[in-house]
Amino acid sequence: MLNGKRILLIVGGGIAAYKVLDLIRRIGRAGGHVTPVLTRAGSEFVTPLSLSALAGEKVYTDLWDLTDEAEMGHIQLSRVADLVVVAPATADLMAKMAQGHADDLASTLLLATDTPVMIAPAMNVRMWEHAATQRNLVTLKADGIAVVGPDVGDMACGEHGPGRMAEPEAILDSITARLSHGPMKGKHILITSGPTHEPIDPVRYIANRSSGAQGTAIARAAVAAGARVTFVTGPADVAPPEGCTVVRVETATQMRDAALAALPADVAIFAAAVADWRVTSASDRKMKKQDGALPSLELAENPDILAAVAGRTMDRPPLVVGFAAETDDVVENARAKRIRKGCDWIVANDVSPVTGIMGGSENAVLLITAEGEETWERMGKDAVAVRLIERIATALA
C-alpha cells in the first residue's frame, strides 16, 4: 500500500504510454498520489486531459510555463515526490538521463531531483539492444536508478524480443517495494489463494466455497509490510490486492505450475482451497442428458502444491506455511497435516457450517509450529492476516 506516497510520473513518447493510464489508476487505488509530467513526444501518444483526469492533478508539460514556475518551480516539483517514475522511458530519455541533459521539463526535473528515480524502459528491440542504450543502462544503474522491465514479447512495431514496457501491475509492484520500509522489505512471498475449478466439460466444473478472502487479506498485509508478493489465485470472489504480482489460474495443475515458477521465495503461504480431485478426462464438448442414463465421472487426485513446494531441495522457501480447514478433530488433524506435508507452520481452523468461517469475514485460528500451538481469538480475516505476517516477520528477523 502506498499510503499517501507521492509519485512524480514522467510520461515519455512511446506507444506504451497508453499503459500509463492504467498505472495511474492502480497507484491511486493503492493509496498513492500521482503528479504527471508529459514530454512533448509523450503528448503524441496520450493527452494531458486523460492524465489529469485519472491523476486528479494538473499535468506539467513545459519548462517555460511561467504560471507553473510561479506556482511551483521545476526544482521544487522535482523534489516534492517520494519517487520519480519514468514510464515509458524511451531510448532518447535514457540517453538524456545518462548524459545529464536538461533541455526540456522532464530532463530538467530528472537532473534537478534528489529523489530516488525508477525507469520502465520501452522501445523497439533493436534500439534496446543497441550498444548505446546498453551503455546508458549501465550508467543509469550505476547512478542508482532502479529499472523495471522491459519485458520480452511482441511489439507494436511487429518485431519480437525485449523492449515491451513492464505491465502496470509489475511497475506498481516495484514502486510499492521501493517505497516500503516495512519489516518484510526485500522479502519475496508466494501466496496461493481462492478455490480451483476443475472442468467436467466446457461449461461445468468441480469447485468449492472458498471466497479467497483470507488469502487476499494475507497478500494485502504482506504488501503493506513491504514484501514483494506473488499472488497465485484461482477464480475467487474478491479482487486481488494492488501492489502484488497476480497470477490467475483455474485448475490445481495450473496453480502448481505457477507456484513452482514463482520460486525462489523467502516464504510460501498456501491459503488456496485446492480441489482434491479433477475429472480424469474432461469432455471437450458439453455433456448431454441421455434418456435417464447417468454419466459417471472418473476422478484423479490433484497434485499437492504445498507438499510439492515443501519437498523441494534446491529452492525450498525457508518458511512454508499451510492451512488446514477442518470440520472435526481440528488439532489432531492439523498436527498430522504439518508433518505429512512437510511444512513448517499450519494455520488451522474449524470450517464446520456453524462457525460461518468458510465464505465469512471472520476466522478463529490455531497456529501450529514445531515448537507448539497458539490459539488466536476469533477476529476478522484482515486481522488474522496482519497477525500472521507480523509473526512471519518476527520469525524471519
What is the binding site for ligand C5P (CB under 6 A)? Answer: 192, 252, 270, 272, 274, 302-306, 322-324, 337
| Nearest to ligand C5P of 153, 311 (CB atom) | 311
| Nearest to ligand C5P of 110, 310 (CB atom) | 310
Closest CB 188 distance from ligand C5P, rounded Å: 18
| Nearest to ligand C5P of 139, 369 (CB atom) | 369
Is 157 a known active-site residue? yes
Q: What are phi and psi of 8, to 5 degrees?
A: -90, 110
Q: Which residues contact 152 (CB under 8 A, 6 or more apart)?
A: 160, 161, 162, 164
Closest CB 364 distance from ligand C5P, rounded Å: 17
Closest CB 192 distance from ligand C5P, rounded Å: 6
Look at the alpha carbons of 89, 90, 96, 102 in this order and tell me if their dihedral is positive or negative: negative
| Nearest to ligand C5P of 326, 382 (CB atom) | 326
DSSP 243: T
Rounded CA separation 98/111 (Å): 10
CB of 57 closer than 8 Å to CB of 36: yes
Closest CB 336 distance from ligand C5P, rounded Å: 10
268: nearest Cα among 226, 311, 213:
311
Rounded CA separation 195/210 (Å): 5
| Nearest to ligand C5P of 48, 303 (CB atom) | 303
Closest CB 207 distance from ligand C5P, rounded Å: 14
51: nearest Cα among 13, 7, 20:
20
Rounded CA separation 119/101 (Å): 16
| Nearest to ligand C5P of 93, 305 (CB atom) | 305
41: nearest Cα among 23, 14, 19:
14
Q: Which residues make beta-bridge pairs with 206?
A: 198
Helices (H), 198-323: 213-224, 252-261, 305-310
Look at the alpha carbons of 315, 318, 323, 324 in this order and tell me if their dihedral is positive or negative: positive
Closest CB 274 distance from ligand C5P, rounded Å: 4
Catalytic residue among 53, 138, 157, 336: 157
Kindly list the catalytic residues: 157
